[in-house]
Amino acid sequence: AQSVTQPDIHITVSEGASLELRCNYSYGATPYLFWYVQSPGQGLQLLLKYFSGDTLVQGIKGFEAEFKRSQSSFNLRKPSVHWSDAAEYFCAVERGSTLGRLYFGRGTQLTVWP
């Protein structure tokens, strides 16, 4: 069965610092992978996705993620964090053959210090 692990429950970074949020998945084949962001009082917003091809994917808001098959990882990165990036970040994997059935990691709460 597919699973998604986000080992960091809470991360704190200073504004302007770089950021990496970790995500590991367990799946027999190459999965479809996603990163979502949930800001306080806001809905879920898709940051980026990986289906196939180039393993480094660019997303919105300056985020990027790299798919590493050998490590079963799909880590999210941003070179310089802004205070507005403070939010909850969820990694997700598409489960089964039906697009849209997502299995989410438990999330990483990002705090940004000014």
Partner 1 sequence: SAVISQKPSRDICQRGTSLTIQCQVDSQVTMMFWYRQQPGQSLTLIATANQGSEATYESGFVIDKFPISRPNLTFSTLTVSNMSPEDSSIYLCSVDTGGPPYEQYFGPGTRLTVT
Summarize as ranges the residues that interact with partner 1 (CB under 8 A). 32, 34, 36, 42-44, 46, 49, 51, 90, 92, 95, 98-107
Which lies closer to partner 1 via its Cβ, residue 39 or residue 84? 39
Q: Where are the alpha helices (DSSP H) in 15-94?
A: none
Helix (H, G, I), strand (E, B) or coil at 30: coil
Which lies closer to partner 1 via its Cβ, residue 51 or residue 83? 51
d(CA 106, CA 6): 6
Among 12, 14, 9, smallest CA distance to 82 is for: 14
CB of 40 to partner 1, least distance (A): 12
CB of 85 to partner 1, least distance (A): 19
Which lies closer to partner 1 via its Cβ, residue 18 or residue 42? 42
CB of 18 to partner 1, least distance (A): 25
Which lies closer to partner 1 via its Cβ, residue 9 or residue 114? 9
d(CA 17, CA 80): 5
Residue tagged 């969820």 (tokens): 90
Cα three-residue angle 48-54-55, rounded to 5 degrees: 70
CB of 27 to partner 1, least distance (A): 16
